[in-house]
Amino acid sequence: MTTEQNPTIKLNDGQAIPAIGFGTFQIPDDGSTYNAVKEALELGYRHINTAVAYFNEDEVGRAIKDSGIPRDEIWVTSKLWIQDYGEEPATKAIDRSLEKLGLDYIDLYLVHQPYGDVPGAWRAMEAAQKAGKLKSIGVSNMTPKLWQQFVPQFETIPAVNQVEFNPYTQQRPLRELLAKQDVKLEAWAPLGQGNQALFNEPVIQQLAQKYHKDAGQIILRFENQEGVIVFPKSVHAARIKSNREIFDFELTAAEMDQLRALDTGKAQHDPEAPGVAERLLGAFDVHADD
């Protein structure tokens, strides 16, 4: 599965995850997700990132089915929403995700937000992994503090932690913690959610000129060389295509250091802020159609 175009990263459970994927957050479930995922697969992506709370698992699944690409060549990530934490609700939610996606198994399934009965949800995920419904299991949005709060209660160490990551938000303390157990970091907002200040950083512009790449490709290449799994999102075919074209050049050690120096040590999203769990629960009702 590893090619120059589709390199993989080995997880601590032995699975090989494609290093770059396609994100579907905020792409509507009105045909837009189906079209974008189908386009991404046609352009060579083999890793699709969705979630129950993105409300588009059905279109992701349909695009995969209609792509004609063998199932074992596509890596699918989905995530469990807070409403379904606890062992019994999570067990049902996993089956519901499989049904919506139209798949026999999900390659990677994550605890989407670190609040509430996370240990109960994790037990359900471990059982589903043993049953072959989930290949790899992981967490998302866990700071070092939240990691220390929950993960010591888990029997299985997560394979990944999906968090905000880009050159302004490099998560150094978290990465040091994860490295001890060979847990890989996945980046949401790998392009800083289109932050123009980031794209216009002089060092990024200079490197883009040197390598005949755009700013986004420089950022994604930096993240890839840092060992971070990325899944940029776009609904534009040209951008979907260009985001994958990052494996035909390599940043030097000095250039990597220049980009590391952009780190602010801050993030847009603070998972430890008071009221985050309540706000998220209020914003996303994944059972509205039940």
Other Cβ atoms closer than 10 A to 248: 11
Per the CB < 8 A criterion, the answer to whether 48 and 77 are in contact is yes
Active-site residue flag, 54: yes
Give the separation between CA 267 and CA 265, rounded to whole angstroms.
Answer: 7
Contact 151, 248 (CB under 8 A): no
Structure tokens at 271: 């998972």
> What secondary structure does DSSP assign to 28-94, as a single string?
-TTTHHHHHHHHHHHTT--EEE--GGGT-HHHHHHHHHHH---GGG-EEEEEE-GGG-SHHHHHHHH
Tokens 């605890």: give the residue.
111
Structure tokens that stand for 38 in this block: 């189908």
Tell whether the torsion through CA atoms of 191, 134, 8 and 241 is positive or negative. Answer: negative
Write down the catalytic residue from 34, 45, 54, 115: 54
- Give the residue from 262, 271, 276 showing the smallest Cα distance to 169: 262
Which are the catalytic amino acids? 54
